[in-house]
Chains A and B, each alone.
Chain A
Amino acid sequence: MSIIDHYDTIAAISTPPGVGGIAVIRLSGKEAYSIALRGIILNRLDVRYAHFTKVLDAETQEIIDDVVVTYFKSPASYTGDDTIEISCHGGYAAAPAILELYYKLGARPALPGEFTRRAFMNGKMDLIQAEAVADLIHAVSESGKKLATRTLSGKLSQKVKKLRTELTDIASILELELDFSEQEITTFDKKELLIKINEARNNIFTLSESYSGGKILREGALVPIVGRPNAGKSSLLNALLEEERAIISHIPGTTRDTIEESFVHNGVVFRLVDTAGLRDTDDAIEKIGTEKAKQTLTDADLVLLVVDLENISDLTFEKDFLKTYSHLPIIVVYNKVDLFPNIPFIDTDHHLSVSALNHTGLDILTDLMVNLLKKHYGVGGDTIAITKQRHKNALNNAGNALLRTKEALASGLSNEFLALDIREAISALDEITGHTTSEDVLNNIFDHFCVGK
């Protein structure tokens, strides 16, 4: 079985995802202090003092967020180990990014109930509390199991099992030559082995990349509604929500601040963001709104670009926009079609006429939104995607182990060295499925090769 390390530094978001104005990330373990420092621009932390600082990804030199960091020194902390709490901006972007950074810097994802378990181990609780914790771990792992069987049911679990089988096959080939070399056995040449390793690695990589799609499943798709002032963006938001959420008026520049509201279609959560109309302006407030709209676009998964059919003589703005954001899936929504009963209805790949006023074309629009997400991120329907950071980590570890296998193979090392890394790759996959056995390789050998004297 894959062994949980009870002593290394763990990290998790300790506020519910996406809720509230502030998210707290907790790091705990022997190295929590030094790991925490690696991600912020301070080089020391005073005990129990709130430090205002920034989280910086040293690799990309990118500032992730402004945060407040507090250091609780062992044993005076919740877990009893050195603990760091990082408060960052709530919502969906900052906290996961910071967490991901800390996984890179040496922490590992905490298991369900693990902070509490450590607290108990360090004598921070009495037995009654501890029993409650044990039950909780059991319950969490049970419901986790249920959840796992649900999310892992069918395709994903089959997929991971298939990947594992590929790796076990490779391991068997390697071990066969080590443990049965006295006998007449099928030997594989380096090239064949390399092909197999590459295949396995690609498959693991593809699954790991499906995480961004998984993220949409988990947190919803961020869909800004943009366009020139007065195009009908707020009207479209209201129409999709079927609720008078945003203020609508015939005065261009009505919407100043962004408004976010969710709605669900075909099992996909859309986080619609109404934005201020985009135009050059001298109005200070409107300018802030425009900036905010642009900000939202950096995290967008899909964009609705609203065009007023009354203003299509000059589409310079729209053309420029499409060029600037060509990496994003964009739907061009021609609004106010009700005013032009004589022009043909537009319904092509990424172009669609609607009327926000009397709800024409909205069903087609929502279907199109789902389809585009599917196409771009493999979300929804029957594509396989992973949705947990923990799974992504495990897959990345497996991929890295395979990379080391390749390097070892290239440098001419013998099978037992390659086997070491393949084993690591296998146990990384086992962390996803909870698979717990080590005898598989020998069993596989006995099943597929005629060995034994």
Chain B
Amino acid sequence: MKKSYDIIVVGGGHAGVEAALASARLGKSTALITIEKSAIARMSCNPSIGGLAKGHLVCELDVLGGEMGKAIDATGIQFKLLNRSKGRAVWSPRAQADKIKYERYMQDVLENQANLDIIESDARALEIQENEFRGVYLYNNTLIKAKACILTNGTFLKGKIHIGNVQIPAGRYGELPSIGISDQLKELGFSVGRLKTGTPSRISKRSIDFTNLQIQEGDKDPRAFSHSTRNFDPPNIPCWLAYTCEHTHEILRSALDRSPLYTGKIDGVGPRYCPSIEDKIVRFSDKTQHQLFLEPEWDGSSQWYVNGFSSSLPIDIQIKALRSVPGLENAEFIKIGYAIEYDYFPSYQIRRSLETKRISGLYFAGQINGTSGYEEAATQGFVAAVNAARKLDGANDFILERHEAYIGVLIDDLCSKETSEPYRMFTSLAEYRLLLRWDNAHLRLLDATKKIGIQKSDMIDLFERVKRETYILNTKFSKTRVTTDNPFNIPLGSTSSISLLIRQQKITENNVMALQKHYFPDYLLDSVDQAYVQTRYEGYIDRQFKQVKKMNQLEAKGIPHNFNYSKITSLSNEGREKFLKFKPDTIGQASRIRGISPADIQVLLIFLSK
């Protein structure tokens, strides 16, 4: 351990891991300070990575040079491409993880990373002078100096677990909370809020009666998250489906007066997309059953995760209620479900670089910004580190736009929307959704990836090849004629171009492999596939590009950080207030703030052009 580093990352969760790796890989001497080394990269909640929109985030991170995709490819135990019956843009990969292997994989990668020291300690306070970050104090008051710091404390800041009426200070079950940092920042003028989330019980496998449960398997043709994954042949371990019944709901209902949610003990706001089971039966009282997914936490695991049964009710009720579920009559409990409340910093306080507006050199990433989810955290950690490193090098900010990546949507949303509940990614949040496919992340992010400079050169070469080939194939498709005796066995009256047949949906998704094999054997399957999608949805894709172009005129109009909104009397009161709060970087961003009227934008434009 040295006395001074370029960059310090506080917290070894999913944000911290990516931040530490990115920083070290960019050649910055980096320290990762985390409370418990063996808990690095731990999945606090469900044992899975990816899913709708989240899978997109992982793929984007992989292209840019992050680690999450590789880690899950190496340690996943079931892979599934979701939404396959829908259009390409909303397909999304998801994997069940082997939690233990995943942590170990990440810990190994960190151990072997040059420029990176892992310090097992609790960061208690920050050294800040003249609104500039200078260093971090460990629990024993040792000062470690650095030029920049990325805080990724997750759910640990003044974390408090609730089980019934019992409250335990903790950052996660069995782990100590982080006390000190959030109070210090509050004193420095940061606004601090309180959020809540929850997790279900873990039960033992042998206590589950599988006979009447529905099996849920992964895809037979699993798809990897990472472009660098070769010879992908992961296990396919099933999950199981169970259902609650009326009796379960009666038990839960009878104990609502002992729920911290309804007795007012919990102040934090929880996510509506991740409700506790008691919340579900209260809000949707007419539903007679709710789905529960039983998921193994690792390969050969005896510990199973009951997805859908998150709860903060007292232990006796959780046990009684879960045992009323058919198949779980004899459930043995390894860990009980709980809710956790924690401090976070409402995200209008950061810029799109993830640097705080208040303290130069201080960055926030992950749950601390009010988001939730491993993938949301990981991508932020990466972006924060890239920006911290660039700042030390005197380079400009690394910012992804909304039309370039879900990462761009995520961070822009953080900087222009008020979050009252934990924020997670949904495909419907991306207005240019048709452009942001999971499978074209390497094409849309090629330039960004090169700009960052972490990705390996063989990967860059591959991405460039796909981009080049796709471009060429787009013209070849319209010039190449398909004859009546074709490899697709499509009945044709006369010869026709490939592009026409794709548009007429005569050549479909299922023919892409044959298309490559018979017509373009020298091209990568990926390239043929990309060109296929571009041809198939050409009209819609063009429309979205037009929308982007229109919006870009506003995105391109920057607003100086020190712009004086107070002196513009012709703004509406609400407009001025919001502008002062969010300090948007561009007119585009300004226009997305809730409550801003078109007149406010016009007035702003007038004053900016002077």
Q: Interface on A for B, CB 8 Å cutoff?
A: 1-7, 111, 113-114, 117, 120-121, 127, 130-131, 133-135, 137-138, 141, 175, 177-184, 413-417, 419-420, 423, 434, 436-439, 441-442, 446, 450-453
Across-interface contacts of B220 in A (CB, < 8 A): none
A-B contact pairs, 6 of them (CB 8 A): A3-B550, A141-B597, A179-B427, A417-B540, A452-B274, A453-B293
Judge whether B271 is part of the interface by a CB distance below 8 angstroms. Answer: yes
Say whether A414 contacts B273, CB under 8 Å: no
Proximity string of chain B (426-463) to chain A, C-beta cutoff 8 Å, 1 when within and 0 when not: 11110101100000000000000000000000000000
Say whether B82 contacts A120, CB under 8 Å: no
Q: Interface on B for A, CB 8 Å cutoff?
A: 46, 51-53, 82-83, 85-87, 89-90, 94, 271-275, 280, 283-284, 287, 290-291, 293, 307-308, 310, 417, 426-429, 431, 433-434, 537, 540, 543-544, 550-551, 553-554, 568-572, 591-592, 594-599, 601-603, 605-607, 609-610
Say whether A130 contacts B610, CB under 8 Å: yes
Say whether B434 contacts A420, CB under 8 Å: yes
Say whether A414 contacts B570, CB under 8 Å: no
Closest to A408 in B: B540
Complex-state Cα separation, A437 to B431, whole angstroms:
13
Complex-state Cα separation, A442 to B53, whole angstroms:
14
Across-interface contacts of B53 in A (CB, < 8 A): 179
Say whether B83 contacts A3, CB under 8 Å: no
Residue with the greatest number of chain A CB neighbours at <10 A, chosen from B89, B291, B570: B570
Say whether A4 contacts B428, CB under 8 Å: no
Given contacts A121-B609, A133-B606, contact A2 B598 (CB under 8 A): yes
Across-interface contacts of A413 in B (CB, < 8 A): 87
Say whether A135 contacts B606, CB under 8 Å: no
Complex-state Cα separation, A2 to B598, whole angstroms:
8
Say whether A416 contacts B274, CB under 8 Å: no
Say whether A417 contacts B307, CB under 8 Å: no
Across-interface contacts of A441 in B (CB, < 8 A): 428
Closest to A1 in B: B591
Nearest chain A CB to B102 CB, angstrom units: 20
Complex-state Cα separation, A3 to B602, whole angstroms:
11
* 7 closest cross-chain pairs (CB), A and B: A414-B87, A141-B599, A450-B284, A134-B570, A414-B86, A138-B570, A446-B272
Across-interface contacts of B271 in A (CB, < 8 A): 452
Given contacts A182-B52, A434-B597, contact A3 B603 (CB under 8 A): no
Given contacts A138-B599, A441-B428, A453-B274, 8 further A-B contacts (CB under 8 A): A1-B592, A5-B553, A117-B606, A178-B83, A180-B52, A414-B86, A417-B87, A417-B540
Across-interface contacts of B601 in A (CB, < 8 A): 4
Given contacts A414-B90, A416-B427, A453-B308, contact A135 B570 (CB under 8 A): yes
Nearest chain B CB to A451 CB, angstrom units: 6
Say whether A121 contacts B606, CB under 8 Å: yes
Across-interface contacts of B283 in A (CB, < 8 A): 450
Complex-state Cα separation, A452 to B431, whole angstroms:
22
Across-interface contacts of A414 in B (CB, < 8 A): 85-87, 90
Complex-state Cα separation, A180 to B92, whole angstroms:
12
Say whether B594 contacts A178, CB under 8 Å: no
Say whether A183 contacts B291, CB under 8 Å: yes
Complex-state Cα separation, A38 to B94, whole angstroms:
53
Across-interface contacts of A450 in B (CB, < 8 A): 280, 283-284, 287, 290
Nearest chain B CB to A439 CB, angstrom units: 8
Q: Per a CB cutoff under 8 Å, which of A134, A179, A452 touches B52?
A: A179
Given contacts A182-B82, A420-B543, contact A117 B591 (CB under 8 A): no
Given contacts A416-B86, A416-B87, A450-B290, contact A436 B273 (CB under 8 A): no
Complex-state Cα separation, A135 to B607, whole angstroms:
12
Complex-state Cα separation, A179 to B83, whole angstroms:
9
Say whether A416 contacts B553, CB under 8 Å: no
Complex-state Cα separation, A162 to B575, whole angstroms:
27
Given contacts A130-B610, A178-B83, contact A436 B540 (CB under 8 A): no
Say whether B568 contacts A134, CB under 8 Å: yes
Complex-state Cα separation, A370 to B428, whole angstroms:
49
Nearest chain A CB to B419 CB, angstrom units: 10
Say whether A179 contacts B594, CB under 8 Å: no
Say whether B290 contacts A134, CB under 8 Å: no
Complex-state Cα separation, A138 to B604, whole angstroms:
11
Say whether A137 contacts B599, CB under 8 Å: yes
Say whether B87 contacts A4, CB under 8 Å: no
Say whether B540 contacts A419, CB under 8 Å: no
Say whether B428 contacts A442, CB under 8 Å: yes
Nearest chain B CB to A169 CB, angstrom units: 14
Complex-state Cα separation, A413 to B543, whole angstroms:
16
Q: Per a CB cutoff under 8 Å, which of B52, B431, B551, B610 touches A423?
A: B431
Say whether B595 contacts A436, CB under 8 Å: yes
Complex-state Cα separation, A175 to B426, whole angstroms:
9
Complex-state Cα separation, A182 to B308, whole angstroms:
12
Nearest chain B CB to A377 CB, angstrom units: 31
Complex-state Cα separation, A141 to B603, whole angstroms:
11
Complex-state Cα separation, A7 to B554, whole angstroms:
10
Given contacts A178-B428, A179-B426, contact A3 B554 (CB under 8 A): yes
Residue with the greatest number of chain B CB neighbours at <10 A, chosen from A114, A442, A453: A453
Complex-state Cα separation, A7 to B550, whole angstroms:
9
Closest to B417 in A: A439
Across-interface contacts of A2 in B (CB, < 8 A): 598
Complex-state Cα separation, A141 to B554, whole angstroms:
21
Closest to A439 in B: B417
Across-interface contacts of B605 in A (CB, < 8 A): 6, 117, 121
Closest to B275 in A: A452
Say whether A436 contacts B597, CB under 8 Å: yes
Across-interface contacts of A438 in B (CB, < 8 A): 431, 592
Nearest chain B CB to A143 CB, angstrom units: 11
Residue with the greatest number of chain A CB neighbours at <10 A, chosen from B46, B83, B602: B602
